[in-house]
Amino acid sequence: MELSNVCQEILKNSLDLKAGEIFLIVTDDAKKSLAEALYRAGQTLGAETLLMVMKERKKSGEEPPRAIAAALAESDAAVCITEFSLTHTKARKQAVASGTRLATMPGITEDMFLEGAITANYSEVKILTEHVTGLLDRGRRVTIEKEGHQLAFSIEERKGVPSTGVYIHPGESGNLPSGEAFIAPVEGTASGEILVDGSVVGVGKMRSALLLTVENGRLIKAEGEGAEQLLNILGTGPGRSVAEFGIGTNRRARITGNVLEDEKVYGTVHIAFGSNLTFGGTVEAGVHIDCVFKNPDVRIDGRKVLEDGKLVSGSEEL
């Protein structure tokens, strides 16, 4: 499909954009050309389409300017197509609380518009994502195992969040492309090791594994490819807090080095560090960095729900 047709399909199928609605696109110089394609698609569909271009943020989780935050909250639907993610910002949280249907597309490329995760059947993605979200909702403790390394943490009284790729009701939001269920681990409860072999925000696709050591909910050591870069991005304060646990649910997604798609890959899970205030946690760090790894075993309350990255229910693979 041509890019213009893809953009129209995204706006119709994922945001249910209608003629006459106020539709805002937030972008930066790095993603302006793709944002303009969405702008033209919004106009074609008859929406009152607005395009706001801001200075590129320095890292994922950094807030946009106040004027953009205010405009997001006044829109019927919005897309944030930026180099760094606005997903875990107060601006996004305030917008959805005001009823905006909102999709974030951090780091997306033209290739990702035309291939991979964006081409998934989102009705199927929605069903699988909501199933996994239910597992998280009912859980109290998670254990992740990979190649002899183990990380465990509490999710008690936390709610899972489905990112289905379908945001058609007021206040619904998530990534596009999409396909993950995620949750904020209870602060201070995570301890153990993570072997990251997929990708890391700010580092890219991994050529060799990165070993992360966590104690009492904080990253205390990183060894391997990208270790110094990751620690520098996170800083020494709240940025090192374990913020998120997520499970990919999109069978069309690929490991590309761009976490927007990588964290959606079926067969992967991810741990993020930094802010989680926007989805049920208590940490505000001004940074949110995802670390994706492939084919782990995952247990929730002692029951195996992923085996070698594959979702299982009893003895049946999903």
pLDDT in tens, 5-29: 999 999 999 999 999 999 999 999 9
| Same-domain status, 143 and 85 | no
Instruction: Please say which residue of 62, 80, 114 terminates a domain.
Output: 114
Residue in the block written with tokens 């085996």: 307
Would you state the torsion angle of the CA atoms of residues 71, 72, 74, 78, taken in this order, to the nearest 10 degrees?
A: 120
| Same-domain status, 110 and 123 | no
| Same-domain status, 148 and 177 | yes
- Name beta bridge partners: 293: 269
| Same-domain status, 168 and 243 | yes
% of the chain at pLDDT higher than 70: 98
pLDDT in tens, 117-143: 988 888 899 999 999 999 999 999 999
| Same-domain status, 141 and 261 | yes
Q: Which domain holds residue 84?
A: 3-114
| Same-domain status, 280 and 173 | yes
Average pLDDT of span 42-56: 97
Q: How far is CA 13 from CA 7, 40, 118, 167, 268, in A?
A: 10, 17, 11, 9, 26
Phi-psi sector, 191: left (phi>0), alpha (psi -120 to 50), beta:
beta
| Same-domain status, 109 and 137 | no
Q: How confident is the model at residue 1 (pLDDT cuts 50, 70, 90)?
A: low
* pLDDT of res. 315: 35
Both tokens assigned to 244: 């998120």
pLDDT in tens, 56-74: 999 889 999 999 999 999 9
Position 209 pLDDT exceeds 80: yes
Instruction: Please say which residue of 70, 98, 114 terminates a domain.
Output: 114
Residue in the block written with tokens 């992740």: 144
Within 13 Å of residue 89, how many CA atoms lie on the same side as its CB? Answer: 25
* pLDDT of res. 123: 87
Both tokens assigned to 304: 């195996």
Rounded distance between C-alpha atoms, residue 261 and residue 179, angstroms: 9
| Same-domain status, 71 and 165 | no
Q: What is the DSSP letter of 160?
A: -
* pLDDT of res. 314: 53
* pLDDT of res. 318: 46
Instruction: Please say which residue of 75, 90, 114 terminates a domain.
Output: 114
Give how many domains the chain has, as a whole number. Answer: 2
| Same-domain status, 135 and 85 | no
pLDDT in tens, 159-199: 999 999 999 999 999 989 999 999 999 999 999 999 999 99
| Same-domain status, 135 and 106 | no
pLDDT in tens, 85-118: 999 899 999 999 999 999 999 999 999 888 889 8
Question: For position 32, which CATH number holds?
Answer: 3.40.1830.10
* pLDDT of res. 219: 98
Of the candidates 44, 246, 237, the residue with the CA atom closest to the CA atom of residue 136 = 246
| Same-domain status, 295 and 213 | yes
Position 283 pLDDT exceeds 90: yes
| Same-domain status, 64 and 151 | no
